[in-house]
Amino acid sequence: MSGSPNAGPGLTVIPFGPQHPVLPEPLHFDLTLQDEKVVDAIPQIGYIHRGLEMLVEKRDFTDYVHVAERICGICSFMHGMGYCEAIETIMDLTVPDRGRWLRTFWCELERVHSHLMWLGLAADAFGFENLFHATWRAREIVLDVAEETAGGRVIYGSCIVGGTSTNPENETLDRCVKELSKVRAETIRLAEVFIGEPTVRHRLEKVGVLGRGKAYALGAVGPMLRASGVDYDMRRKGYEAYPELTFATMVETSGDCMARAKVRIREIDESLRLLGEIVARMPGGPVAVPVKGAPEGEGWVRVEQPRGEALYFVRANGKRNPERFRVRTPTFANIPAMVEVMVGSQLADVPTIILTIDPCISCTER
């Protein structure tokens, strides 16, 4: 591999990964060091590459949702939804109101679950095992709500082409919102501990700074971009029920690891508030429209996942099996920025930097 720098005088190349101290997933970097300073970082991918984009040729377009959901178990619902939206744009299907609002509900639920998970892992990486357990206990409530409303804890399985497959009762949703209010109180408490702790601040502040212009030019998305001061959130673009909702985009300006942490923590709070609003305004009626025929044409969809903007592309030729499916996931878009931040940082900060980018390797490699 070229790209791999020849270790010159005073330079050392060390492999970082694939098995990791900070993540359960295998991610591999070749780091070139000069003393303790990283001068180059080259990612290697492919440990989790499955090739699921090609599976679309063998699956009926309505069945492929199940595969799309399993691009990543953390943002599973949104992956399924992105695929469904792409098919729906091709086939000109209009999802009924209740279906749209339910999808939005699950999207926000997933954002809460993902960010809470991140908060827990971050706490664990800093050695706050206590905080890790407390966060994950709060997160279990979110998963219970998911199980009760959608049917699955991590893989929801509730999104189908044309709408949703489950239709929870309004009373269930109300009860869920009550449960979630506990999470909100708990999160605020935990986040204060996390952010206020001097050791955490010492390790996050002014570490891994990504400037505004660079973040935008390198194609960073999601919390990574917003932490650098760019107000960019695909939800603003309006899909599902988002055009009818008002919500704040969390923007920080310092661009360091702390800013990225703060953006996520604020988003948990905002999403929990949004969940309450969604349930309060949940319309009635059917949740799905019947799907007839087969798609023909191409659809491009962009949605905002917990980690940022994801792009879905489907091309179909009028047969039951589409021709090509493509997903550009947020972590893939964040890799160039991640490498940029790593170069010039201290080796000891590399795990922190990787952590605050919240990489999802499974969806990066598909």
3-state SS, residue 12: strand
Site string for ligand SF4, 21-60 (x = CB under 6 A): ----------------------------------------
Measured from the CB atom, the residue of 1 and 293 that comes closer to another protein is: 1
Give the CB-side neighbour count of residue 333, counting CA atoms within 13 A.
21
Measured from the CB atom, the residue of 233 and 256 that comes closer to another protein is: 233
Measured from the CB atom, the residue of 70 and 137 that comes closer to ligand SF4 is: 70
User: Minimal distance in Å, beta carbon 12 to another protein?
Assistant: 19
Strand order in the sheet with 296-305: 296-305, 308-317, 324-328
Pairing of strands 308-317, 324-328: antiparallel
User: Minimal distance in Å, beta carbon 282 to ligand SF4?
Assistant: 28
Residue 284 contacts which entry, another protein, ligand SF4, none (Cβ below 5-8 A, type-dependent): none
3-state SS, residue 209: coil
Q: Please give the residues from 57 up to 76 whose contact with ligand SF4 meets the rule CB under 6 A.
A: 70, 73
Among 282, 258, 324, residue whose Cα is nearest residue 87: 324
219 contacts ligand SF4 (rule: CB under 6 A): no
Q: Please give the residues from 289 up to 328 whose contact with ligand SF4 meets the rule CB under 6 A.
A: none
- Rounded Cα gap, residues 228 and 216, in angstroms: 9
Among 260, 133, 250, residue whose Cα is nearest residue 190: 133
Q: What angle do CA 37, 39, 45 make, to 5 degrees?
A: 115
- Rounded Cα gap, residues 16 and 28, in angstroms: 6
Measured from the CB atom, the residue of 11 and 45 that comes closer to ligand SF4 is: 45
Measured from the CB atom, the residue of 18 and 73 that comes closer to ligand SF4 is: 73
User: Minimal distance in Å, beta carbon 360 to ligand SF4?
Assistant: 13
Measured from the CB atom, the residue of 72 and 142 that comes closer to ligand SF4 is: 72
User: Minimal distance in Å, beta carbon 57 to another protein?
Assistant: 6
User: Minimal distance in Å, beta carbon 58 to ligand SF4?
Assistant: 16
Contact (Cβ atoms closer than 8 angstroms) between residue 119 and residue 269:
no
153 contacts ligand SF4 (rule: CB under 6 A): no
Place of tokens 């990283």: 38
Measured from the CB atom, the residue of 73 and 276 that comes closer to ligand SF4 is: 73
Helices vs. strands in the chain: H and E counts, helices first:
12, 8
User: Minimal distance in Å, beta carbon 217 to another protein?
Assistant: 6
- Which segments within the chain are labelled E, that is strand? 11-16, 28-34, 37-44, 159-160, 163-164, 296-305, 308-317, 324-328
Q: Which residue is nearest to ligand SF4 (CB)?
A: 70
3-state SS, residue 143: helix
User: Minimal distance in Å, beta carbon 102 to another protein?
Assistant: 18
Measured from the CB atom, the residue of 257 and 338 that comes closer to another protein is: 338
Place of tokens 């050791």: 199
Residue 211 contacts which entry, ligand SF4, another protein, none (Cβ below 5-8 A, type-dependent): none
155 contacts ligand SF4 (rule: CB under 6 A): yes
Which residues make up the interface to ligand SF4 (CB under 6 A)? 70, 73, 155
